[in-house]
Structure 1
Amino acid sequence: MIAKDLRSGVEQLGNMIAEAACIVPFTGAGISTECGIPDFRSPGGLWTRNRPIAFDEFVASADARAEAWRRRFAMEATFAAAKPGRGHRALASLYKAGKTPAIITQNIDNLHQASGFRVDDVIELHGNTTYARCIGCGHAYDLPWVKARFDEDGNAPDCTICDEPVKTATISFGQAMPEDAMRRATELAQQCDLFLAIGSSLVVWPAAGFPLMAKNCGAKLVIINNEPTEQDDLADLVIRHDIGETLGPFVGN
């Protein structure tokens, strides 16, 4: 059912939240746009300006690795300045109230952690861009370490332990999904009684399968997104309004 207006949608959402015992939010890029972080697919989004660098290209090409890091450092000021928005804070309020055991996210910006979620309770399907990892041994590196070496000669650094390339701790196209995150997301989707899909186009699989999984396991499904999604017909409630305005009333509740 599509909410006829914002007020009606917020009222229905509030009733569903009040009745639910276990709420699992699932967030996409749309929740972070009010924080100044552009999304990927919409007009003017990151992928309209730069073709994504696939994982196999990153591994095979020193030039691709250097370009990947150049793009990341070009975005550093944007990521560093971003603070949790109303949507992040509203979901953190549900978490602190004991309504939400954990959150599943496609986002890589660390804003759910900054809003008050424990690190272990943010299930990052696509990784995190605020630090780096060796693609071989998995050793973690902070970004200032990477930038210092990148600035020396314009080349992407290799791991000091195993000499494999160092990459942002994100999941690129063609890279294996994180097994533990996928397992935990599956368990959450199967066990909740209310699943909130927020700010996701629901077109990137396998992540887009979790709302459907929750619905098939008996949960009520709410989709909050400015644009229609392919799963709207399955949802118990669809709110096509600004995410911050929709979730703002739930901040601090």
Structure 2
Amino acid sequence: MKKIVVLTGAGISAESGINTFRDANGLWEGHDIMEVASPIGFENNPALVLDFYNKRRQQLFEVEPNEAHHNLKRLESQYEVHIITQNVDDLHERANSSNILHLHGELLKARSSAVNDFICHWEKDINLGDLAKDGSQLRPHIVWFGEDVPLLEKAVEITEKADILVIIGTSMQVYPAASLINFIKDETPIYFIDPKPFVNKNAFNNLTIIKDVATLGTDKLLKMLRH
């Protein structure tokens, strides 16, 4: 069975109603990125950071997976599908995809602010005074700017074995996630789904651009890949 590796970003969840929360001017919901997505931001104003992610977490319970998420699950009838997502929502899980790796963390988990591997499932708000097992303040299980991406090596290992690479709803401008495309084998077919694809078609061998939103684009992808 051939292996499909799918890299997903905010665009696949946008049609479910999840805000990408980065404005055109680079602010996240009116905040500078470093205020709400960096260790120094958390150190300076933990209440602000916790509130920011509490709102993101609450939104998850108001949305459902869309057809793009379900289409990736449907691909499993003919392929071994591995999803590497930059998203911190749980929509791939709710669509019942079998193999999901979250590069940037998960909203439905919390962790120690002192030790990276003290991680627990968490569905309610995280408040000041909520402590991890080691006695430190709980924080969102999110990879912030300036922090290592602990699952990057595993993502590279998965990508290296891809027979087909699919990219959905991500500009491939955010590193280190964007570097994963460099680890596929030569001549591996690449399918890039985005309504405004920011990619040079001549930069990669065997590249097919599907200029569409994720739901319609994955419909087209299924027709191309089913045999």
Q: TM-score, normalised by structure 2?
A: 0.84
Name the CA shift for 1:237/1:167 in 2 (closer, same or farther; >3 Å): same
Asked if structure 2 preserves the Cα contact closer than 8 Å seen for 1:26 and 1:197, the reply is yes
Name the CA shift for 1:243/1:74 in 2 (closer, same or farther; >3 Å): same
Name the CA shift for 1:45/1:109 in 2 (closer, same or farther; >3 Å): farther
RMSD of Structure 2 on Structure 1 (CA):
2.5
Counterpart in the other structure of 1:94: 75
Residue type of the partner of 2:97?
F
Distance in 2, matches of 1:107 and 1:186, equals 17
Distance in 2, matches of 1:243 and 1:144, equals 27
Distance in 1, matches of 2:216 and 2:158, equals 26
Number of residue pairs the alignment of both structures matches: 218
Note the 1:112-127 alignment, pairs <5 A.
112-118=92-98, 121-127=99-105
Q: Which of residues 119, 126, 129 is equivalent to 1:140?
A: 119
Note the 1:206-225 alignment, pairs <5 A.
206-214=176-184, 216-225=185-194
Asked if structure 2 preserves the Cα contact closer than 8 Å seen for 1:24 and 1:103, the reply is yes
Instruction: For residues 42-101 of structure 1, give each alpha carbon's deviation from its aligned partner in whole angstroms, at most 9, with x where no partner exists.
Output: 54987263222243314522xx21101111223344211121111110111113x15134
Greater Cα offset, 159-168 or 20-29? 159-168
Distance in 2, matches of 1:73 and 1:104, equals 24
Distance in 2, matches of 1:232 and 1:111, equals 30
Instruction: For residues 17-50 of structure 1, give each alpha carbon's deviation from its aligned partner in whole angstroms, at most 9, with x where no partner exists.
Output: xxx8221111000000010001144549872632
Asked if structure 2 preserves the Cα contact closer than 8 Å seen for 1:127 and 1:171, the reply is yes
Residue type of the partner of 1:70?
D
Counterpart in the other structure of 2:215: 244
Unaligned stretches of 5+ residues in structure 1: 1-19, 151-155
| SS at structure 2 position matched to 1:75 | helix
Name the CA shift for 1:222/1:112 in 2 (closer, same or farther; >3 Å): same
Counterpart in the other structure of 2:87: 107
CA radius of gyration, larger in: 1
Asked if structure 2 preserves the Cα contact closer than 8 Å seen for 1:197 and 1:211, the reply is no
User: Higher relative contact order at CA 8 Å, sep ≥6: structure 1 or structure 2?
Assistant: 1
- Over the matched positions of the two proteins, sequence identity in percent amounts to 24
Residue type of the partner of 1:241?
D
Counterpart in the other structure of 1:197: 167
Residue type of the partner of 1:166?
L
Higher helix share: 1
1:168 correspondence with 2:137: no
Distance in 2, matches of 1:142 and 1:45, equals 30
| SS at structure 2 position matched to 1:175 | coil
Distance in 2, matches of 1:98 and 1:159, equals 45
Asked if structure 2 preserves the Cα contact closer than 8 Å seen for 1:38 and 1:45, the reply is no
Unaligned stretches of 5+ residues in structure 2: none
Q: TM-score, normalised by structure 1?
A: 0.76
CA apart distance, 1:232: 4.1
